[in-house]
A and B are shown apart, each in its own frame.
Chain A
């Protein structure tokens, strides 16, 4: 027996499917050949290890298959329960079918459903307010809210820059401080005049333009002087 034949028989030996004659010949060769005996020992160790730790290693995870199995189990359970209920009460009603339906949605389906619900509710609200609630709900005129929003937004920015100016003002020369204060007063006057005009006539385009520009000018002045 040569080594090649021997190593082929080693597998049969470890599996226990070898004839007595082959086993004898193989053992005789293994006693004489250390290499083949080493192969037999290695292979036997591997097979033993696998047999001892069978079932301990983790199978490659397959979430989808797992969930599919769980869902099948749940559906089978539900199906049995529904069938039992149907047997008990005859033909199921629409409501009971709808209630007993398995509502399982994927993430995109869930998002689309939510969006659709929000859209429908919004439309219904708008239509409802326009049709039935117009007289009861006081709606602020668009121009007034726009102006107020704009003034509010600008005021926020103006307050921020004003704080920065106040921090640096002490470093300025008296002349620069006087100049700044004088110019700020002039712009504030322009803002106040525009607001007064808008209060008298909220639709006045010129006053609105002037208010916008004077607020912009105030912001620009503050920014420019905040660097000094």
Chain B
């Protein structure tokens, strides 16, 4: 019996050893990857009118509000040659990756995460990569991708909003403030705007592919040119909205 038991346990032990070795190898690899990347995290005091400006080259940018009166900047830096030198002047935090790394060649991706007070003005851009901004209620939200990357603006209530890319989708979920200006532009991607049903704005929307869907916001006062361009007021037209898409759809949705 005992010899049979002994004979039966050998393969189990071998399997355990193999799994253990595999786990160790995976852990080691992960550790190596973590070591290759640099982590950066720093907090900055924030006043009443906080403004963050971020100029990235390649990588994602995430901006979200939190209930602290300070800014937290975190970054995952792919290359050890890359420099990130944030500068704070009064209530403005500026990160200029482009300027800080001029002449250094390819510095890989740098992924940023910014946690800011909800009333912060946000001006972020990258040559390549996605941008997400959430829960901001301020004067400005600008998200600019020079080439390709999705832009997602969630729960935004700002007086001026700009979202622009070449390839990639743009999603806006928020409110249009009275007297505000809102500009959304993509060359190849879908633009979706989700706003409350009682929103009032003057709209200029153009898409040569005729994929403009105003849905609940359409009214007979709109002037159209072959369905490629719509110009008209929704409500009393208190804010100004411009949407341009070269080869994708423009869709308005009611919250």
Verify that A and B bind, or say they do not.
yes
Q: A187 contacts which chain B residues (CB < 8 A)? A: 166, 187
Q: How far is the CA of A119 from the CA of B187 in the complex (A)?
A: 48
Q: B148 contacts which chain A residues (CB < 8 A)? A: 179, 182-183
Q: B188 contacts which chain A residues (CB < 8 A)? A: 186
Count class of interface residues, chain B? 20 to 34
Asked if B108 is at the interface of the complex by the 8 Å CB criterion, the answer is yes
Q: How far is the CA of A175 from the CA of B128 in the complex (A)?
A: 10
Q: A175 contacts which chain B residues (CB < 8 A)? A: 58
Q: Which residue of A lies closest to B108 (CB)?
A: A173
Q: How far is the CA of A183 from the CA of B164 in the complex (A)?
A: 13
Stretch in B26-34, B41-49, B98-106, B115-123 with 4+ CB within 8 Å of A: B98-106
Asked whether A180 and B206 contact (CB < 8 A) given A190-B246, A213-B244, the answer is no
Selected contact of B228 from candidates A171, A176, A182, A206, CB within 8 Å: A206
Stretch in A41-49, A81-89, A149-157, A214-222 with 4+ CB within 8 Å of B: A214-222
Asked whether A180 and B147 contact (CB < 8 A) given A210-B206, A213-B244, A224-B127, the answer is yes
Q: How far is the CA of A179 from the CA of B149 in the complex (A)?
A: 10
Asked if B229 is at the interface of the complex by the 8 Å CB criterion, the answer is yes
Q: How far is the CA of A171 from the CA of B166 in the complex (A)?
A: 23
Most interface-central of A171, A175, A183, A190 (chain B CB within 10 A): A183
Q: How far is the CA of A76 from the CA of B208 in the complex (A)?
A: 81
**Closest CB of chain A to B210's CB: distance in Å?**
10
Count of A-B residue pairs with CB < 8 Å: 73
Q: B166 contacts which chain A residues (CB < 8 A)? A: 183, 186-187, 217, 221
Asked if B7 is at the interface of the complex by the 8 Å CB criterion, the answer is no
**Closest CB of chain A to B188's CB: distance in Å?**
5
Q: Mark A130-168, 1 if CB is under 8 A from B, else 0.
A: 000000000000000000000000000000000000000
Q: A228 contacts which chain B residues (CB < 8 A)? A: 57, 127
Q: B58 contacts which chain A residues (CB < 8 A)? A: 175-176
Q: Which residue of A lies closest to B128 (CB)?
A: A179
**Closest CB of chain B to A223's CB: distance in Å?**
9
Q: B167 contacts which chain A residues (CB < 8 A)? A: 182-183, 186
Asked if B225 is at the interface of the complex by the 8 Å CB criterion, the answer is yes
Cβ < 8 Å to B, chain A residues 174-228: 175-176, 179-180, 182-183, 186-187, 189-190, 193-194, 197, 205-207, 209-210, 213-214, 217, 220-221, 224-225, 227-228
Asked if B155 is at the interface of the complex by the 8 Å CB criterion, the answer is no
Q: How far is the CA of A189 from the CA of B206 in the complex (A)?
A: 17
Question: Would you call A210 and B246 a contact (CB within 8 A)?
Answer: yes
Q: Mark B139-154, 1 if CB is under 8 A from A, else 0.
A: 0000000111000000
Asked if B199 is at the interface of the complex by the 8 Å CB criterion, the answer is no
Asked if A24 is at the interface of the complex by the 8 Å CB criterion, the answer is no
Asked if B213 is at the interface of the complex by the 8 Å CB criterion, the answer is no
Question: Would you call B246 and A214 a contact (CB within 8 A)?
Answer: yes
Q: How far is the CA of A207 from the CA of B229 in the complex (A)?
A: 10
Q: How far is the CA of A209 from the CA of B245 in the complex (A)?
A: 12
Asked if B178 is at the interface of the complex by the 8 Å CB criterion, the answer is no
Q: A172 contacts which chain B residues (CB < 8 A)? A: 106
- The 3 A-B residue pairs whose C-beta atoms are closest, nearest first, are A224-B146, A173-B106, A183-B147
Q: With A186-B167, A224-B146 given, can you name 13 additional A-B contacts, CB distance below 8 Å?
A: A173-B108, A175-B58, A176-B127, A180-B147, A182-B167, A183-B147, A183-B148, A186-B187, A193-B246, A210-B206, A210-B208, A213-B244, A227-B98
Please name 30 pairs of A and B residues whose Cβ atoms are closer than 8 Å in the assembled complex, sorted by A: A171-B106, A176-B106, A176-B128, A179-B147, A182-B148, A183-B147, A186-B167, A186-B187, A186-B188, A187-B166, A189-B247, A190-B246, A193-B208, A193-B246, A194-B208, A205-B225, A206-B206, A210-B206, A210-B208, A213-B185, A213-B244, A213-B246, A214-B246, A217-B166, A217-B187, A220-B146, A221-B146, A221-B147, A225-B127, A227-B98
Q: Spell out B's residues near A (CB within 8 Å).
A: 57-58, 98, 102, 105-106, 108, 127-128, 146-148, 166-167, 185, 187-188, 206, 208, 225-226, 228-229, 244, 246-247
